[in-house]
Amino acid sequence: MKAWHQFIDKIFLTVFSDKNQKKVERATLWLSMIGFIIHLILIYAKKYAWFEVPFESSLLIDPISSIYTPFSIILVYEIYLLVVNLPRSFTTSVSKQFEIISLILIRRIFADIPKIDLNANWMNTQENVQLIYDVLGVLIIFFLIFLFNKARSRLPVLPINPNIQSFVASKKIVSLFLLPILILTSLVSIFNWIYGLMYLQLTTDINAIFYNEFFTILILADVLILLLSFQYTERYSQLIRNTGFVICTILIRLSFGVSGLTNVILIISSVAFGLLILTIYNMEENPLIKKRS
């Protein structure tokens, strides 16, 4: 192992050690519970006029909306795990992206449930139709992620060589730079949202807060890793697979710019495209699948 490999490994293991990951996990658990309780208090304070809530929000209408807050905190933890797993493989990273976008969709369901009008004609009410889109979208995406992970388990095991070691070390450098950037981006996004809500009375789409910037940064990180892979492999199938996974991230990012059925279709298209790319790659690279064919 080269000296710079050892240096990067040492820093990576220090920053993302099991001890630090456990700390982040415990902090996520406690913050989720505290956020859930605070959200409930704000809802009932507004409902029964316990004290004045200095802003208006659709998330303060119904107690079910309080589930939105712990889900948001758990999503931040999932993003942290994505950064941790980034050096493992492109496929693992993309799988984690799919899990994150599915959780974002589930979180949106909890935010939209209080808007449902049970007395109205379901197909003539936008909120009711959106709930149907989201619920069906979650089921389809969950099944596609299952198929993707099943295909991922059949990936051929590549021998460790100096090129792979250098590539993994390069991806660890990307993860180390990505972590502080994402922390800073999340803090700035949350501050801007709170400031706009309390002082400017802006009602920004809360489902898009931070994740627009996050997936934009992730696209840039994926493209950087893709360019780095050109240095360590010339295999056409791997380059096409990695490029296809970057397209998956771009489709997810595009989904935040639209709403309704188009949003759900873009997310499903991203996962389906990733599954198709991985299936074709397995057929090309896995000798067992080739033999069956």
For residue 270, pLDDT over 90 is answered with yes
Hey, what long-range contacts does 213-220 have (CB within 8 A, 24 or more apart)?
213/185, 213/189, 214/79, 214/182, 214/185, 214/186, 215/249, 215/252, 215/253, 215/256, 216/253, 217/178, 217/181, 217/182, 217/185, 218/82, 218/97, 218/249, 218/253, 219/246, 219/249, 219/250, 219/253
Which of 48-62, 181-195, 257-271 shows the lowest mean pLDDT across its residues?
A: 48-62
What was the pLDDT predicted at 272? 95
What was the pLDDT predicted at 160? 64
Domain chopping of the chain, boundaries = 3-292
Residues 114-121 have a mean pLDDT of 72
> pLDDT category, 146, cuts 50, 70, 90?
very high
For residue 115, pLDDT over 80 is answered with no
Q: Do residues 182 and 214 touch, judged by C-beta distance below 8 A?
A: yes
Which of 128-142, 154-168, 220-234 shows the lowest mean pLDDT across its residues?
A: 154-168
> pLDDT category, 273, cuts 50, 70, 90?
very high
Percent of the chain with pLDDT over 70: 81
Provide the whole-model pTM: 0.80
Amino acid at 118: L
**Cα distances (Å, whole numbers) of residue 64 to 55, 69, 85, 241:** 19, 10, 32, 41
Which of 30-44, 161-175, 248-262, 263-277 shows the lowest mean pLDDT across its residues?
A: 161-175
Summarize pLDDT for 74-104 with one digit per residue, the tens: 888 888 888 888 887 778 888 888 998 888 8
For residue 289, pLDDT over 60 is answered with no
Q: What is the mean pLDDT of the chain?
A: 79
Summarize pLDDT for 165-207 with one digit per residue, the tens: 777 888 888 888 888 888 888 777 777 766 666 665 555 555 5
What was the pLDDT predicted at 265? 93
